[in-house]
Amino acid sequence: MFSMDIRELLLKDAMIMDMKASTKKEAIDEMVHQYHQAGVIDDEELYKKDIIAREAQSTTGIGDGIAMPHAKDKAVKRATVMFAKSAKGIDYDALDGNPVHLFFMIAAPEGANNTHLQALAALSSLLIDPKLVAALKKAQTPDEVHQLFADAQAQKEAKEKADAAKKAKQTTVKVDNKPYVVAVTACPTGIAHTYMAEESLKKTAEAMGVDIKVETNGSEGVKHQLTADEIKRAVGVIVAADKKVEMTRFDGKPLVNRPVVDGIKKAEQLINEAVKGNAPVYHAAAGESTTEDTSANGSAWGEIYKDLMNGISHMLPFVVGGGILMALSFVIEQYFGGAKSLPFIFLNNAGNLAFAFMIPVLAGYIAESIGDRPALMPGFVGGFMATVYSGSFGGVYVANVMTGAKSSAGFLGGIAAGFIAGYLTIFLKKIFAKLPKSLEGMKPMLLYPIFGLLLVALIMFFIVNPIFSVINTWVTIFLNHMGTGNAVLLGVILGGMMSIDMGGPFNKAAYVFAVAAFTSTKNGDLMAAVMAGGMVPPFATAIATAFWPKKFTDDERKAGITNWVLGFSFITEGAIPFATADPLHVIVSCILGSAVAGGLTQWWHVSVPAPHGGLWVTPLATNPFGYIIAVVIGAIIAGVILGFWRPEKSRVK
């Protein structure tokens, strides 16, 4: 229950009662622009980018003529739900393949309070009512839309109140033959689909004569959390989720694992599977998924990439924070007091301490993504072992985060440690699944930690560290003794990779390689190439929109202005909306410019001893002038090619 009037979210001046759009892209553009006009958002491109990113995960066209695009970001000034209606219908890639007539675009600010989030959740849950949907399709004015939602909410609250009163009057425990199931719903943003799936499962279960409790993993956090007793009593479990939820608690229960949208559209099927025992029994040893369609990607590479990115995303704050503090300490050492000054010692130690955690955190969270919590500790230790000593063929164990082995396995060994720890944990879960139930409590507290650590340590000491320390040494020697020609070629490749997918696997691979080289050699040459290449796309689109404005839409020209700042800050993603709308012209132009910029940094021996920051860290560069000029030349080349090559906006597809 919440106190906020739901009509406060449905702004009348943000509604579109007769959409002009005829395609999905046009519909998003029209709704986002309407939000900007109504003062709901202050950055159209940022909000649109997040809307498109959400659509890339899975369509928000849920079927029955409804779509619910949504995003939560800093561009949103107040929580709002836009109602928009298309009389002719729009192909929005809906799950049922039918045109969409009703749109509910949800905008939530980063700092949305619980009242707003509860109201958004309640509003979302109302949209599964077919009577309300039918009435909304006939509504002609914003006032009618307001009244329909107000009536629907009043009816829902009255029913909840009556149910609560009925339950309060019960003085004895009622025993009946109703089957009891538990469920979890979750979507990536946790705003709409999470609560629609919850409502659909509850209503369908009531109609089927099934008792159900639904836990939601939404923007407010976990609500209606399932207890161990409730899980134990349930005849089956339903997980309707598009993001990771806590799964080990369901060990030994029949479990139906599906995307969140199935909780909305196929609630009866899911409940039947859970009740009739058709679902496979979930065992923690099987890892995260129990059915083939659990993963959005479904491919082995998709899973590996997800696991690697989980480690990298947790590692990056250590890299960025530690790297920049270390770089600042070198400036202080050179210009403000030398190596014995207190500011240098403080900043250098703080940066080194952060760097010391980098590889253990990387390995730990790769392992955790694969094998869940039991894999975290062996992953951390395996990553630490990759940092501090080489292994059975040499090296001395020094348990001091400030002292690394001369031939440690390093970054590559840390990645290997993470995957080894993760898959070993899954193996151990399968082995220990055969133990008696009476020993269940020993697994997480005794068996997994001891055997997980023992096996990972053995593999790291006798296999991984000896092998990867040699590989890491070869890479370090190659980078340190690389001639100018080879350095330029490598700079060209890394710079170009930054623009291939602008934040995707190629971009991340180039960045991770540069970070690995930086951490191994403390040489920032390749960081300069990667940062220069990554700054080119936003700068290029800013240049093209400024000098060829007639070839871009109003929204693109506004985004071009923003991209001056994003480019300066090494935020490549600022160019993604352009690349999405016109991939051929934008991506090819940017790859050429980024490759030139990356190569020039190596030609001019530019080194940037910081893993992030763009042009803001120019004072730290060994050749600041060369760093700036390389970026400028690459951006101009890409911007001019894009400007001349891109067709007029009326012909842009």
User: Each residue of 107-122: pLDDT tens digit?
Assistant: 888 765 554 456 556 6
Note whether 80 and 198 are same-domain residues: no
Picking from 576, 571, 548, 544, the residue whose alpha carbon sits closest to that of residue 560 is 544
For residue 62, is pLDDT > 60?
Answer: yes
Is residue 172 domain-resident? Answer: no
Contact 462/391 with Cβ under 8 angstroms?
yes
Distance CA 471, CA 3 (A): 62
Catalytic member of 116, 146, 187, 193:
187
Chosen domain end from 476, 495, 517: 476
Q: What pLDDT sits at residue 455?
A: 95
3-class DSSP state of 526: helix
The tally of domains found in the chain comes to 4
Q: What angle do CA 87, 40, 59 make, to 5 degrees?
A: 50
For residue 613, is pLDDT > 90?
Answer: no
Q: What pLDDT sits at residue 184?
A: 92
Task: Give catalytic status of residue 70 as yes or no.
Answer: yes
Chosen domain end from 426, 460, 476: 476
Lowest mean pLDDT among 290-294, 404-408, 413-417: 290-294
Note whether 557 and 448 are same-domain residues: no
Helix (H) or strand (E) holding 107: strand 100-109
% of the chain surpassing 90 pLDDT: 24
Note whether 458 and 496 are same-domain residues: no
Note whether 523 and 443 are same-domain residues: no
Note whether 51 and 120 are same-domain residues: yes
Q: Give the structural domain span for 571.
A: 484-645
Is residue 213 domain-resident? Answer: yes
Is residue 229 domain-resident? Answer: yes
Against a cut of 0.85, is the pTM above it?
A: no
Where on the phi/psi map is residue 447: left (φ > 0), alpha (ψ -120 to 50), or beta? Answer: alpha
Picking from 426, 418, 411, 423, the residue whose alpha carbon sits closest to that of residue 363 is 418
Note whether 154 and 45 are same-domain residues: yes
Is residue 651 domain-resident? Answer: no
DSSP letters for 113-168 = -HHHHHHHHHHHHHTT-HHHHHHHHH--SHHHHHHHHHHHHHHHHHHHHHHHHHHH
Distance CA 267, CA 259 (A): 11
Q: What pLDDT sits at residue 120?
A: 58
Q: What pLDDT sits at residue 590?
A: 95
Note whether 329 and 418 are same-domain residues: yes
Note whether 560 and 625 are same-domain residues: yes
Q: What mean pLDDT do residues 1-24 have?
A: 78
Q: Which residue type is seen at 202?
A: K
Chosen domain end from 476, 499, 529: 476
Q: What mean pLDDT do residues 306-317 have?
A: 78
The CATH number given to whatever domain includes residue 194 is: 3.40.50.2300
Note whether 215 and 331 are same-domain residues: no
Is residue 375 domain-resident? Answer: yes
Is residue 234 domain-resident? Answer: yes
Is residue 295 domain-resident? Answer: no
Picking from 100, 109, 144, 94, the residue whose alpha carbon sits closest to that of residue 35 is 109
Lowest mean pLDDT among 124-128, 364-368, 532-536: 124-128
DSSP letters for 233-283 = H-SEEEEEESS----GGGTTSBEEEE-HHHHHHSHHHHHHHHHHT-SPBP-
Distances (CA, A) of 11 to 105, 257, 509: 12, 37, 44
| pLDDT tens-digit series, residues 271-300 | 998 888 778 888 764 334 333 333 333 456
Q: What pLDDT sits at residue 174?
A: 46
How does residue 433 score in pLDDT terms, banded at 50, 70 and 90? Answer: confident
Q: What mean pLDDT do residues 362-378 have?
A: 89
| Total Cβ atoms within 10 A of residue 281 | 14
Is residue 169 domain-resident? Answer: no
How does residue 402 score in pLDDT terms, banded at 50, 70 and 90? Answer: very low
